Structure 1
Amino acid sequence: MTTTSPAPVSMIDRIVIILDVFDGAHGLTLAQVVTRTGLPRSSAHRILEHLVGVHWLRRDQLRYHLGLRIMELGTLAGYQHQLRRAAAAHLHELAHRTGFIVHLAELDGPEIIYLDKLGGRFALRVPSRVGGRAPSTCTSAGKALLAYAGEHTLESLLSRPLPLPTPVSIGTERRLRNELAHIQDRGIAFDREESARGLACVGAPVGAPGAPVAAISVCGPVGRVNLEQLVAPVRATAQAVWASFSAGRTAPPGNLREIAQQPRQQVGA
Structure 2
Amino acid sequence: MTVNALTPDSATPSAVIDRVSLVLEAFEGPGRLTLAQIVRRTGLPRSSAHRMLERLVQLRWLRRSGRDYELGMRLVELGSLAVHQDRLHRAATPLLHELHRATGLVVHLAVLQGTDVVYMDKVGDRLTAAIPTRVGGRQPAHCTAVGKAILAYSANRASNEDTLPRKTKYSINSPAQLNAEMAKVHAHGVAFDREESLAGFGCVAAPIGSLGEAVAAVSVCGPMSRMTFDQRLAAPVRMTAMNIWRNVDDGVQRVAPTLQQVRPLRGGPTARPATNGAGLQFA
- Note whether the superposition's TM-score is higher than 0.5: yes
Task: Say what the alpha-carbon RMSD is for the aligned residues.
Answer: 2.0
User: Which consecutive unaligned segments of at least 5 residues does structure 1 have?
Assistant: 1-5
State how far apart, in whole Å, the 2-side matches of 1:51 and 1:161 are. Answer: 40
State how far apart, in whole Å, the 2-side matches of 1:72 and 1:251 are. Answer: 27
Q: Is the 8 A contact 1:106 1:214 kept in 2?
A: yes
Once the two structures are TM-superposed, the CA of residue 252 in structure 1 deviates from its matched residue by: 2.9
State how far apart, in whole Å, the 2-side matches of 1:213 and 1:24 are. Answer: 25
Q: Is residue 20 of structure 1 aligned with residue 21 of structure 2?
A: no
Corresponding residue for residue 3 of structure 1: none
Q: Is the 8 A contact 1:200 1:221 kept in 2?
A: yes
Alignment of 1:66-215 (within 5 A): 66-150=71-155, 153-155=156-158, 157-159=159-161, 161-215=163-217
Q: Residues 24 and 154 (structure 1 numbering): CA distance in 2 closer, same or farther, change over 3 Å? A: closer
Q: Is the 8 A contact 1:87 1:251 kept in 2?
A: no
Which structure is higher in RCO with an 8 Å CA cutoff and minimum separation 6? 1
Task: Give the number of aligned pairs.
Answer: 255
Once the two structures are TM-superposed, the CA of residue 246 in structure 1 deviates from its matched residue by: 0.9
Deviation digits for residues 136-193 of structure 1, max 9, x if unmatched? 100000000000101xx123x4347412111111111111111000111000000011
Corresponding residue for residue 255 of structure 2: 252
1:61 corresponds, among 42, 66, 77, to: 66
Deviation digits for residues 58-105 of structure 1, max 9, x if unmatched? 111111121121111101101110000000000001111211110011
User: Which consecutive unaligned segments of at least 5 residues does structure 2 have?
Assistant: 1-10, 271-283
Q: Residues 60 and 127 (structure 1 numbering): CA distance in 2 closer, same or farther, change over 3 Å? A: same
Once the two structures are TM-superposed, the CA of residue 133 in structure 1 deviates from its matched residue by: 1.0
Return the letter of the residue paired with 1:197.
Answer: A
Q: Is the 8 A contact 2:153 2:213 kept in 1?
A: yes
Choose 108-117 or 224-233, whichever is displaced more: 224-233
State how far apart, in whole Å, the 2-side matches of 1:84 and 1:248 are. Answer: 11
Question: Percent same amino acid at aligned positions?
Answer: 47
TM-score (norm 1): 0.88
Once the two structures are TM-superposed, the CA of residue 268 in structure 1 deviates from its matched residue by: 2.3
Return the letter of the residue paired with 1:223.
Answer: S
Corresponding residue for residue 5 of structure 2: none
Q: Is the 8 A contact 1:100 1:121 kept in 2?
A: no
